[in-house]
Amino acid sequence: MNKASIIVIGGGHAGIEAANAVLSKGHKVNMFVLDSSAIGRMSCNPSIGGLAKGHLVKEIDALGGIMGRAADNSCLQFKTLNKSKGRAVWGPRAQVDKIKYASASKSFLTKHRNFKVISEEVVDLIVKNNKVLGVITSNKNAFFSDAVIVTTGTFLNGLIHIGKDNYSAGRIGEKAAHNLTDSIINLGFETGRLKTGTPPRIEAKSVDWKKLEPSLGDDNPQPFSYKTKLPFKNLNIPSFIAYTNENVHSLLENNLYNSPMYSGKINGVGPRYCPSIEDKIVRFSDRSRHMLYLEPEWMDSNQIYINGFSTSMPKKIQLSALRSISGLESANLIRPGYAIEYDYFPTRQLKSTLETKSISNLFFAGQVNGTSGYEEAAAQGLLAGINSVLRIEESDPFIINRNEGYIGVLIDDLITSSINEPYRMFTSSAEYRLSLRSDNADFRLTEKGFKAGIVSKSQYNTFIIRKNSVKSIESAIIKKTISEESKSISAQKYLCRPSVGIQDLFNFIPSIKHKSGAALFTAETNIKYEGYVSRETIRANAMLQNERVKIPKNINFCQINGLSSEAVEKLNKVIPENLGQASRIDGVRPSDIMCLSIFIKQERFT
């Protein structure tokens, strides 16, 4: 069989995972980038994971992806966030060496002989009979393929803002991509503008570290990837905490007219949940200070990332504000913070495979879909990559349902919701979050990925060993009865007490004592969460009934009696693939779903 060639436009987190998924299936990849040295570059924060984002990383890894392994290979500090809450919403996060991370990501691709990097700007798509056939570059070269995946990040007509100055760029120091947006618009696609931003970087030697609070990671963390060799090397390099103050707030407030966001110079909408420092002082004016984290961008780096101080103020104002913070009185800027606005394509134009609805074999993934964050981009890239291969192989698509993973929640939210600001993943977005823990991502997805051909035999075998270990622990606990105050109680029931941990069973069940920490944690959590998960499973099964009801492609929503005018408008705009998707569209009411369901059933029997 001749393996088909797939083109990936862009070498960021989405592009890397898309390429890796395609290569895992044995197909050829041509990756088009503006700068080959920028593949895998972390344009903003030097970290991977966090709240809900850590779940995405674990799921990407469970499906054979790169992100978790690259983070483990470059980890400076590993910390589990949200530990004051239940285990299901704990968020694993790695602070990483940005240089090593990019190098590791790229090396996972370049080891494949089917991978080729082409440093030319794509300016047009070759389309015939509503099917993409390849791309044309700025050098007027034509490259043909069986599928194209667009993962251009913030580069499409990117415009950087620093104070009243603005200039064209994909990110600072890198040129923007022009013409491709117009090419896609000419194919009938809608587009919009969004905004994101990044904090300033300062010299480490200009910081008075004695005035700041050190913040260390976990002492004995588990790595993101089960492919990472144990024991996990944990450098635990500290970050440091600083605080803004009323002088900083006053300075920024008096200069809001210099901020492009408040002067009206930026047309794109920014993320509410990752606000700039200007947004913080306006929206949270009652607060006298805001916490900042100073994080090294790589090992022994003189370049410090100021997490929590995203801004697009003029360089002079940024520096004055920073020097008003205790410990930063002598701070020197290496690079100012900036805002960037860019083109994106509303995701109602996509199927659940991330293939476009109007042009076959054309896929969009990452920030071009209106999302925010490395992890969200990587998850989309993986899904687009595997589905591009399955599309050209004429195989069934690879779909992750909402009850199977955060990736499923992410994709479903994108294709059924109206994205009017950068989308960010939250645990609250997942209605089945008690079942979707970060520690059981492999149990939920690895076998599914193996059957689809993106998980290797060695990774699958590692999973089976871990699965058997967890099951043996659970079996030993379920079978054991222990004595407590002259009464017998099952070890399973005893473990479900909030004050009891699995280590309290070691004296009663010595056989489990020497199992791995990861296996013990998963087994313990499975038992403690069993009742909650059972209830979620019942709800999920009810939800899946609607997912199985496919909506005919040629349906005319205007002809369905009983649908509200708003429902007709929204359904025509989104064109859902099944009844479940239709039920999650804003403005479509339960009564509309009932009418739609009756109509579909009647159509089947006519």
pLDDT bracket for residue 263 (50, 70, 90): low
User: Per-residue pLDDT for 86 more than 80?
Assistant: yes
As a whole number of angstroms, the distance between CA 297 and CA 337 comes to: 15
H-run or E-run covering 407: helix 406-416
Token duo for residue 539: 């709800």
- For the domain 548-604, what is the CATH code? 1.10.150.570
The model carries a pTM of 0.93
Q: Tens of pLDDT along 374-383?
A: 999 999 999 9
Token duo for residue 382: 């993986």
**552 cis-preceded (ω within 30 degrees of 0):** no
User: Per-residue pLDDT for 3 more than 70?
Assistant: no
- For the domain 457-534, what is the CATH code? 1.10.10.1800
pLDDT bracket for residue 1 (50, 70, 90): very low
pLDDT bracket for residue 561 (50, 70, 90): confident
Q: Which of 54, 55, 101, 56 is nearest to 75 (CA)?
A: 101
Instruction: Determine the pLDDT at residue 489.
Output: 93
Instruction: Determine the pLDDT at residue 484.
Output: 81
Q: Tens of pLDDT along 198-240?
A: 999 999 999 999 999 999 999 989 999 999 988 888 899 999 9
Could you tell me if residue 526 is left (phi over 0), alpha (psi between -120 and 50 degrees) or otherwise beta?
Answer: alpha
DSSP 8-state class, residue 129: T
Between residues 426 and 540, which one has the greater pLDDT? 426
Going across the sheet that includes 165-168, the strands are: 165-168, 159-162, 338-344, 192-198
CATH class given for the domain over 201-339? mainly beta
Token duo for residue 224: 């993101």
Q: Which of 380, 319, 316, 302 is nearest to 344 (CA)?
A: 380
H-run or E-run covering 199: none
Residues of the chain with CATH 2.40.30.260: 201-339
Residues of the chain with CATH 1.10.10.1800: 457-534
**Is residue 354 within 8 Å of residue 139, measured between CB atoms?**
no
As a whole number of angstroms, the distance between CA 404 and CA 541 comes to: 12
Mean pLDDT of 530-551: 86
Q: What is the DSSP string of 36-87?
A: GGGTT---S-SEEE-TTHHHHHHHHHHTT-SHHHHHHHTEEEEEEE-TTS-G
Helix (H, G, I), strand (E, B) or coil at 141: coil
As a whole number of angstroms, the distance between CA 238 and CA 463 comes to: 32
- Chain mean pLDDT for the chain: 93
Burial 368-392 (b: 16+ CB within 10 A, else e): bbbbbbbbbbbbbbbbbbbbbbbbb
Who contacts 545 (Cβ-Cβ below 8 Å, separation ≥6)? Answer: none
Instruction: Determine the pLDDT at residue 2.
Output: 41
Residues of the chain with CATH 1.10.150.570: 548-604
Q: In which residue are the tokens 């476009």 written?
A: 356
Phi, psi at 242, each rounded to 5°: -130, 170
